[in-house]
Chain A
Amino acid sequence: MRKSSFGLKVLAAGTAAMTVLAMAACGGDDKPAQSADGELSGELSVWGWGNGMKELAEAFEEANPGVTVEYAAQSNASDAAMKLTNAIAAGKGAPDVCMLEDAMVSQFAVQEGIIELDQFGAQDYADDFVAGPWGKLQVNGKAYGMPLDSAPEVLYYNKAVFDKAGVTEAPTTWDEYYEAAKKIRELGEDYYITNNAGFQPFTAQAWQAGGHMWTVDGENLTIDMTKSEGMQRYIDFTQKLIDEDLINVRINAWSDDWNRSLNDGTLASLTIGAWMATNLKSSAPEQSGNWRVAPLPKWTDGGENGSEDGGSSFTITAQAKDTTLAWAFVEFATHGEGAQVLTDEGGQFPSLKSILNSDEFINADDEYFGDQKINQVLVEAANQDITQFQYLPYTQYATTIYPDYTGPAYMGKVRLEDALQDYGEALAEYGEQQGYTVTLK
Chain B
Amino acid sequence: MAGNLGTQAVASGSAVRVNKHKPDWRGWKFMWPFAVVFVLVFIIPIFYAIYISFFEKRMVGGTVFVGIDNYIRLFGDDQFWASCGRVALFTVVQVPIMLFLSAVMALCIDSMKLHGAKFFRISTFLPYGVPAVVSTMIWGFMYGSKYGLVGSLNDLLGTNIDVLSPDVLLASIGNIVTWEFVGYNMLIFYSSLSTIPHSLYEAASIDGASEWQIVKSIKIPELKGSLAITVIFSIIGSFQLFNEPNILQNMVPGNAITTYYTPNMYAYNLSFSGNQSNYAAAMAIVMAVITMAIAYAVQLNSMKEQMK
Residues in chain A within 8 A of chain B (CB atoms): 15-17, 82, 85-86, 89, 110-111, 190, 196, 219, 249-252, 254-257, 260-261, 393-394, 396-397, 399-401, 403-404, 406-408, 410-411, 430, 433-436
Could you tell me if B272 and A249 are in contact, using CB atoms closer than 8 angstroms?
no
For A252, list chain B residues within 8 Å (CB). 250-253, 255
Q: Contacts A190-B146, A397-B275, A400-B269 hold; do A434 and B255 have CB atoms under 8 A apart?
A: no
Closest residue of chain B to A195 (Cβ to Cβ) is B253
Could you tell me if B59 and A394 are in contact, using CB atoms closer than 8 angstroms?
yes
B71 within 8 A of A: no
Could you tell me if B60 and A89 are in contact, using CB atoms closer than 8 angstroms?
no
Interface residues of B in 273-302 (CB under 8 A from A): 273-277
Pick from B56, B61, B146, B251: contact of A261, CB under 8 Å: B146
Could you tell me if B253 and A251 are in contact, using CB atoms closer than 8 angstroms?
yes
Pick from B62, B147, B255, B259: contact of A17, CB under 8 Å: B62
How close is A290's CB to chain B, nearest CB, in angstroms? 20
Could you tell me if A400 and B274 are in contact, using CB atoms closer than 8 angstroms?
yes
For A430, list chain B residues within 8 Å (CB). 274
Binding site of A, secondary structure by majority: helix, strand, loop or mixed?
helix
Could you tell me if B272 and A434 are in contact, using CB atoms closer than 8 angstroms?
no
Closest residue of chain A to B162 (Cβ to Cβ) is A250
Closest residue of chain B to A436 (Cβ to Cβ) is B60
Closest residue of chain B to A248 (Cβ to Cβ) is B253
Q: Which residue, B141, B253, B256, has most C-beta atoms of chain A within 10 A?
A: B253
For A249, list chain B residues within 8 Å (CB). 253-254
For A400, list chain B residues within 8 Å (CB). 259, 269, 273-274
Closest residue of chain A to B56 (Cβ to Cβ) is A433
6 contacts between A and B (CB under 8 A): A394-B275, A400-B274, A404-B255, A408-B254, A410-B254, A434-B60
B 138-171 to A, binary, CB cutoff 8 A, 1 in contact else 0: 0001001111000000000000000000100000
Could you tell me if B274 and A256 are in contact, using CB atoms closer than 8 angstroms?
no
A82 to B56, CA, bound (A): 19
Could you tell me if A82 and B273 are in contact, using CB atoms closer than 8 angstroms?
yes
How close is B80's CB to chain A, nearest CB, in angstroms? 13
Q: Contacts A256-B147, A397-B275, A400-B259 hold; do A250 and B254 have CB atoms under 8 A apart?
A: yes
Could you tell me if B59 and A436 are in contact, using CB atoms closer than 8 angstroms?
yes
Pick from B59, B254, B274, B276: contact of A111, CB under 8 Å: B59
Number of interface residues of B (CB under 8 A): 29
For B147, list chain A residues within 8 Å (CB). 256-257, 260
A256 to B144, CA, bound (A): 10
Interface residues of B in 43-86 (CB under 8 A from A): 56, 58-62
A219 to B58, CA, bound (A): 12
Q: Contacts A219-B60, A403-B255, A434-B59 hold; do A396 and B144 have CB atoms under 8 A apart?
A: no
Q: Contacts A85-B272, A257-B146 hold; do A411 and B166 have CB atoms under 8 A apart?
A: yes
Pick from A256, A260, A397, A407: contact of B254, CB under 8 Å: A407
Given contacts A408-B254, A411-B254, A411-B256, 5 further A-B contacts (CB under 8 A): A15-B60, A82-B272, A249-B254, A261-B146, A394-B274
Interface residues of B in 208-228 (CB under 8 A from A): none
A86 to B253, CA, bound (A): 30
For A408, list chain B residues within 8 Å (CB). 254-255
A434 to B56, CA, bound (A): 9
How close is B151's CB to chain A, nearest CB, in angstroms? 10
A401 to B272, CA, bound (A): 12
For A396, list chain B residues within 8 Å (CB). 273-275
For A433, list chain B residues within 8 Å (CB). 56, 58, 276
For A251, list chain B residues within 8 Å (CB). 253
A406 to B274, CA, bound (A): 18
For B255, list chain A residues within 8 Å (CB). 196, 252, 403-404, 406-408, 410
Could you tell me if B61 and A250 are in contact, using CB atoms closer than 8 angstroms?
no
Binding site of B, secondary structure by majority: helix, strand, loop or mixed?
loop
For B120, list chain A residues within 8 Å (CB). none
Could you tell me if A16 and B260 are in contact, using CB atoms closer than 8 angstroms?
no
Q: Contacts A400-B269, A435-B61 hold; do A255 and B259 have CB atoms under 8 A apart?
A: no
Could you tell me if A397 and B253 are in contact, using CB atoms closer than 8 angstroms?
no
B258 within 8 A of A: yes
For B277, list chain A residues within 8 Å (CB). 89
Could you tell me if B59 and A257 are in contact, using CB atoms closer than 8 angstroms?
no
Pick from A257, A407, A410: contact of B258, CB under 8 Å: A407
A393 to B58, CA, bound (A): 12
How close is A199's CB to chain B, nearest CB, in angstroms? 11
How close is A406's CB to chain B, nearest CB, in angstroms? 7
Q: Which residue, B250, B252, B255, has most C-beta atoms of chain A within 10 A?
A: B255
Q: Contacts A17-B62, A397-B275 hold; do A255 and B146 have CB atoms under 8 A apart?
A: no
How close is B258's CB to chain A, nearest CB, in angstroms? 4
How close is A86's CB to chain B, nearest CB, in angstroms? 7
A212 to B254, CA, bound (A): 25
Q: Which residue, B59, B166, B260, B277, has most C-beta atoms of chain A within 10 A?
A: B59
Could you tell me if B250 and A407 are in contact, using CB atoms closer than 8 angstroms?
no
How close is B78's CB to chain A, nearest CB, in angstroms? 11
A17 to B62, CA, bound (A): 8
A406 to B255, CA, bound (A): 8
For B250, list chain A residues within 8 Å (CB). 252, 254-255
Closest residue of chain A to B277 (Cβ to Cβ) is A89
Closest residue of chain B to A198 (Cβ to Cβ) is B255
Could you tell me if B258 and A397 are in contact, using CB atoms closer than 8 angstroms?
no
Closest residue of chain A to B270 (Cβ to Cβ) is A397
A436 to B275, CA, bound (A): 15
Q: Contacts A190-B146, A249-B254, A257-B146 hold; do A434 and B58 have CB atoms under 8 A apart?
A: yes
Could you tell me if A256 and B251 are in contact, using CB atoms closer than 8 angstroms?
yes
Q: Contacts A252-B250, A252-B253, A407-B256 hold; do A397 and B60 have CB atoms under 8 A apart?
A: no
Closest residue of chain A to B256 (Cβ to Cβ) is A407
For B253, list chain A residues within 8 Å (CB). 249-252, 411
